C-alpha cells in the first residue's frame, strides 16, 4: 500500500468508527423506541356520555381496552354537567344534519353515535389514524390549547428556529467529545 492509500484507509476507518459511535449514542439515548405504537400518542378521542345511559357504560369498557391496546387518550364529557352539556350542544349545532345522542365519540373529523356504531367502527378508525398520522403529530382529534409556545433559538439573522431539546444537546456534546478525542 502506498502512503496515500494508507491515509485514505485510515480516514475511512476513522469515519466508520465515528458513524458507529454516533449511532450507538443516538439509539441509547431513548429517542427511538422501536416498540412504540406509532402515532398513538397523538390520537385523542372525545367521549360524550351520561350517568343514566347503560350503553355508555358498555362503551366505557371498550374504551378502557382500546386505551390499553393503542395508548389513545380519551377526554370524557359527562353531559350531566353543565359545561359538558354546553359542549355537547355546540357539537349538535355544528352537525345539524344528524340527531346526536349519547354515547357519542368524536375521533378525528368523524362522529360515532350509539353503542353499535362505536363497537363496529371505532377500532377501525383508530387503526386508520395510526397508519396515516405522522409520529408526534397532535392534529388528530381536538388538539389541546395550552397557550405555551415551542422554545426557539434566535439565529444570527434574527429568524426563529426550533431549539433542540436539552437531552439532544447533551447527546451531541458527548458525540463531539468522542469525535475530538478520536482524532
Q: Is residue 157 part of a domain?
A: no
At residue 9, the pLDDT reads 76
Report the alpha-carbon distance of residue 89 to residue 25 in Å, rounded.
Answer: 52
Sign of CA pseudo-dihedral 30, 33, 39, 43: negative
At residue 50, the pLDDT reads 96
At residue 150, the pLDDT reads 37
Domain that holds residue 76: 40-132
- CB neighbours of 59 closer than 8 A, spacing ≥ 6? 47, 49, 103, 105, 115, 118, 119
Q: Is residue 18 part of a domain?
A: no
The distance of Cα 148 from the centroid of its chain, to the nearest Å, equals 17
CATH of the domain at 74: 3.40.30.10
- Residues of the chain where predicted confidence (pLDDT) is lower than 70: 1, 27-42, 133-183
At residue 42, the pLDDT reads 63
Q: Is residue 174 part of a domain?
A: no
Count of domains in the chain?
A: 1
Q: Count, in order, helices (H) and strands (E) of the chain.
A: 5, 6
Q: Burial, 54: exposed, middle or buried (Cβ in 10 Å; 0-12, 13-18, 19+)?
A: exposed
Taking a C-beta distance cutoff of 8 angstroms, is the pair 25, 175 a contact?
yes
Q: Is residue 111 part of a domain?
A: yes
At residue 154, the pLDDT reads 34
Q: Is residue 1 part of a domain?
A: no
Q: Is residue 7 part of a domain?
A: no
Q: Is residue 125 part of a domain?
A: yes
First to last CA, the chain: 22
Q: Is residue 83 part of a domain?
A: yes
Per-residue pLDDT of 37-80, as tens digits, reads 444 446 899 999 999 999 999 999 999 999 999 999 999 999 99
Q: Where are the beta strands (DSSP E) in the chain?
A: 44-49, 73-78, 104-107, 110-113, 152-154, 160-162
Amino acid at each position: 500500500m502506498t502512503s496515500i492509500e494508507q491515509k485514505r484507509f485510515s480516514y475511512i476507518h476513522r469515519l466508520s468508527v465515528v458513524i458507529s459511535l454516533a449511532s450507538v449514542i443516538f439509539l441509547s439515548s431513548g429517542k427511538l423506541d422501536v416498540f412504540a405504537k406509532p402515532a398513538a400518542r397523538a390520537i385523542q378521542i372525545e367521549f360524550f356520555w351520561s350517568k343514566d345511559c347503560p350503553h355508555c357504560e358498555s362503551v366505557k369498557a371498550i374504551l378502557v381496552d382500546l386505551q390499553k391496546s393503542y395508548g389513545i387518550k380519551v377526554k370524557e364529557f359527562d353531559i350531566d354537567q353543565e359545561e359538558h352539556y354546553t359542549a355537547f350542544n355546540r357539537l349538535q349545532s355544528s352537525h345539524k344534519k344528524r340527531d346526536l345522542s349519547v354515547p357519542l365519540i368524536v375521533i378525528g373529523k368523524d362522529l360515532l353515535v350509539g353503542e353499535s356504531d362505536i363497537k363496529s367502527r371505532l377500532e377501525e378508525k383508530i387503526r386508520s389514524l395510526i397508519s396515516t398520522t405522522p409520529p408526534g403529530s397532535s392534529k388528530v382529534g381536538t388538539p389541546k390549547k395550552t397557550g405555551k409556545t415551542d422554545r426557539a433559538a434566535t439565529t444570527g439573522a434574527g429568524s426563529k428556529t426550533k431549539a433542540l431539546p436539552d437531552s439532544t444537546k447533551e447527546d451531541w456534546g458527548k458525540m463531539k467529545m468522542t469525535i475530538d478525542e478520536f482524532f
